[in-house]
Chain A
Amino acid sequence: MEVLKAISLRKYFKTRKKSRGSDGLVRAVDGIDFSLHEDSIFALVGESGCGKSTVARLVLKLLKPTSGSIQFKGHDTIEFDKRALKRFRKSVQIIFQDPFASLNPRRTVYNTIAEPLKIHNLATRSGMKDAVSEILGKVGLRPDILNRYPHEFSGGQRQRICIARALAVSPEVIVADEPLSALDVSIQGQIINLLTDLKNETHIAFLFISHDLKVVHYFSDTVGVMYLGKIVEYAKTEDLFEKPLHPYTVVLMESAPNVEPERYGKMHSAPLKGEVPSPLEIPLGCPFHPRCSKKFDPCDRIVPELQASQGRLVSCHLWNPY
């Protein structure tokens, strides 16, 4: 069953600067669709600045979309009244990238974890301490840390506390916005194992945002590759890593270290040139064409549509002749 679905989701930010060839709008998220099924993991990958985190904030209703909608179990989240919103808040939680910024420095671990329980009346006053200890146990932390403050912990422990906070309400969906990229590699392994265990035990659906293809390959069921606010390739994880179609996906995989070079080494496309263009001035035609080694005649004139090809969706003129 679909728990979460984004339908032509758009978020434009206004800037004051208007210039020639630009209307002063930052198209952070420019019409993306995806669906997240129960007990599955959908990963969004892409370079920094491609709009991944904006998607996370839109899904959580921390930002209002410019257009499009997000459906939670078939209901449009924009039309939620107060009660439905509260139920939604209990069902969808977030884990942020930086565990140093995502814990209130002036609140103890106990206060941080007990807060969602209090808001949603999930534990009695007398049972609160046991409830919090139990949740800490789920993420591998001992209950003797209850009265400590965030600064007393390492990054990995803090991220565990953040995960515990997200788990406290027994959510159905967790949005994980680059939960590993601020951690040491050794700690990343521990946290990914923890998330995998949680996924197997609780059947929580994850929207997993990352730029680390290795982790995505290991962890996710479906992948959406984002470039400049658009999904350029949307496929099952094994299909995507078996044979990436979009030239952007190809260079992403080649530029990622340690992703089985014997399998991807043969593609010989040039490394990714240049920077991501400013989302203020998105190139005409295919947004990727200025950096693409395979560009040909229509690429700088016609915007490719996201269309089915070889059992997946891809937006590239190579695979979808216009």
Chain B
Amino acid sequence: MGNYSPTKIFWQRFKHNKLAVGGAFIVLCLFIVAFLAPFLSPYNPNEIDRKQILESPSIEHPLGTDELGRDLLSRMISGARISLLVGFVAVGIATIIGMILGAFSGYYGGWPERIIMRFIDIMLSIPTFFLILAVIAFIGPSIWNIMIVIGVTSWMGVARLVRAEFLSIKEREYVLAAKAMGASDLRIIFRHIMINSLAPVLVSAVLGVASAVLVESALSFLGIGVQPPTPSWGNILTSGKDNIEIAWWLSVFPGLAILITVLGYNLLGEGIRDAVDPRLWDAEKK
């Protein structure tokens, strides 16, 4: 593979992994739905119609209606936006915190590194979901609070990854050469090391979106996440639970949406990971 660019190798390998391409397709569809939500939804997701309460799926309402007569398809499309927003903002926060702390401890080492790593161990020993529950109960549920809390409780993996990458890359000869020519620490960190450690961070971010979507759904399902009437797949499920004997569609469709979304992000993330892992290149050659 000597003379191919890393990007080219990546595409070659990614294309051949059908599951990964499937995952990418699911994620792409979600993006399209979320961005085009106002044009795609047949009804206003919050419009109440008392004459059409808990209607089963029909031509008029392809996924049926909920206990207030709102169109489920429109609410699901709107919920896709929420889950995408929560997923990306939460992961964005986690990734930024993780990269800063990981880069700092990996590059400088010494006692700041030891403190950061022990702090990570402490954070990892606390069951995250209960921590989030406690914090949300304290600061009050809102979509922004959820994103921030999920973000600040899920950066540890990224920090460890980035630290490990820094430890290995900072000894490479191009980094030594940069040091020998008098490059500042910031220049070395960003222009030489960070840029070469982005692949595993990307993988962990994509997988992180999947778990952030799950946590958001769970919180909304418990009623301390996204607050009604704003639709989210989690809080649609809550009303589905209350009416499960008479309206199966209210549980099945949001449940499927969560399942497919999480599956899509996981397949995509694992596909990227396999495509960037040089150990697998060798395995394929044999």
Tell whether A184 is near chain B: CB-to-CB under 8 Å: no
Known interface pairs A105-B196, A119-B181. Does A94 touch B4 (Cβ–Cβ under 8 Å)? no
Docked-complex contact B178 and A105, CB < 8 angstroms = no
- Give the contacts of B1-44 with A (CB-CB under 8 A): 2-6
CB distance from B196 to the nearest CB of A (A): 6
Contacts A104-B196, A106-B195, A152-B5 given; does A94 touch B176 at CB 8 Å: yes
Total A-B contacts with CB atoms under 8 angstroms apart? 72
> What 1/0 mask marks residues of chain B from 157 to 199 whose CB sits below 8 Å from any chain A CB?
0000000000000001110111111111001000110011000
Q: Does B180 lie within 8 Å of A89, measured CB to CB?
A: yes
Q: Nearest CB to that of B4 among chain A residues? A: A151
Supposing A149-B5, A151-B4, A152-B3 touch, asked if A62 and B179 sit within 8 A by C-beta, the answer is yes
CB of A92 closer than 8 Å to a CB of B: yes
The answer to whether residues A93 and B181 also contact, given A62-B176, A102-B174, A105-B6 and a CB cut-off of 8 A, is yes
Task: Please measure, in the bound complex, the distance between the C-alpha atom of A98 and the C-alpha atom of B173, giving whole angstroms.
Answer: 8
Q: Mark B246-285, 1 if CB is under 8 A from A, else 0.
A: 0000000000000000000000000000000000000000
A and B contact pairs by CB, cutoff 8 A, 8 listed: A89-B181, A90-B182, A96-B177, A98-B173, A102-B173, A104-B174, A119-B182, A151-B2
Per the bound structure, the CA–CA distance linking A44 and B19 in Å amounts to 55
Closest to A165 in B: B177
Q: CA–CA, A151 to B4, complex, Å?
A: 7
Please report the C-alpha to C-alpha distance between residue A162 and residue B4 in the assembled complex, in whole angstroms: 20
CA distance A152 to B176 in the complex (A): 22
Of A57, A86, A105, A151, the residue contacting B176 (CB under 8 A) is A57
Residue A75 at the chain B interface, CB threshold 8 Å: no
Residue A300 CB within 8 A of the other chain: no
Interface centre among A96, A104, A168 (most CB of B within 10 A): A104
Interface residues in chain A, defined as those with a beta carbon under 8 Å from any beta carbon in chain B: 57, 60, 62, 85-86, 89-90, 92-94, 96, 98, 101-107, 115-116, 119-120, 149, 151-152, 162, 165, 168-169
Chain A residues with CB under 8 A of B174:
101-104
Residues of B in contact with A, size category: 20 to 34
Encoded as 1 (CB less than 8 Å from any A CB) or 0, chain B from 88 to 110 comes to 00000000000000000000000
B180/A92 in contact, CB under 8 A: yes
**When the two chains form their complex, are residues A101 and B195 in contact, meaning their CB atoms are under 8 A apart?**
no
A90 to B196, CA, bound (A): 25
The complex places the Cα of A94 from the Cα of B173 at a distance, in Å, of 10
Closest Cβ of chain A to B227, distance in Å, is: 44
CB neighbours of A106 from chain B (8 A): 6, 195-196
**Chain B's interface: helix, strand, loop or mixed, by majority?**
helix
Which positions in B face A, CB cutoff 8 Å?
2-6, 172-174, 176-184, 187, 191-192, 195-196
When distances are taken between beta carbons in the complex, the residues of chain A under 8 Å from B178 are 104, 115
Which of A57, A103, A106, A116 has the most B CB atoms < 10 Å from its CB? A106
Contact A116 B181 (CB under 8 A): yes
Residues of B within 8 A of A86 (CB): 182
Given contacts A90-B181, A92-B180, 11 further A-B contacts (CB under 8 A): A93-B181, A96-B177, A102-B177, A103-B174, A105-B6, A105-B196, A106-B196, A115-B183, A116-B182, A119-B181, A119-B184
In angstroms, Cα B194 to Cα A106, docked, is 11
**In the complex, what distance in Å separates the CA atom of A237 from the CA atom of B174?**
32
Q: Which residues of B contact A90 (CB under 8 A)?
A: 181-182
Checking A94, A104, A168 against B180 with a beta-carbon cut-off of 8 angstroms, the contacting residue is A94
Pick from B2, B176, B183, B192: contact of A119, CB below 8 A.
B183
Closest to A95 in B: B177
List of A residues within 8 angstroms of B181 by Cβ: 89-90, 93, 115-116, 119, 165, 168-169
Q: Determine the distance from Cα of A98 to Cα of B172 in the docked complex, in whole angstroms.
A: 10
Q: How far is the CA of A141 from the CA of B184 in the complex (A)?
A: 28
Would B192 and A104 count as touching, CB distance under 8 A?
yes
CA distance A101 to B171 in the complex (A): 10
Q: Are A151 and B173 in contact (CB under 8 A)?
A: no
In order of increasing CB-CB distance, the 10 nearest A-B pairs are: A89-B182, A102-B173, A96-B173, A104-B174, A116-B181, A101-B173, A60-B180, A106-B195, A94-B180, A119-B182
B184 nearest in chain A by CB position? A119
Kindly list chain A residues whose C-beta atoms are within 8 Å of the C-beta of B173. 96, 98, 101-102
Tell me the bound Cα distance from A165 to B179 in angstroms.
13
| Chain B contacts for A149, CB-based, 8 A | 5
Which residues of the other chain, A, contact B180 by a CB distance below 8 angstroms? 60, 62, 89, 92-94
Chain B residue numbers with a CB within 8 Å of A152 are 3, 5
Please name all residues of chain A whose beta carbon is closer than 8 Å to the beta carbon of B183 when the two chains form the complex: 115, 119
A90 nearest CB neighbor, chain B only: B182
Q: Report A110 CB to chain B, min CB distance, Å.
A: 13
CA distance A107 to B190 in the complex (A): 12
Task: Kindly list chain A residues whose C-beta atoms are within 8 Å of the C-beta of B177.
Answer: 94, 96, 102, 162, 165
Residues of chain A with a CB closer than 8 A to B5's CB: 149, 151-152
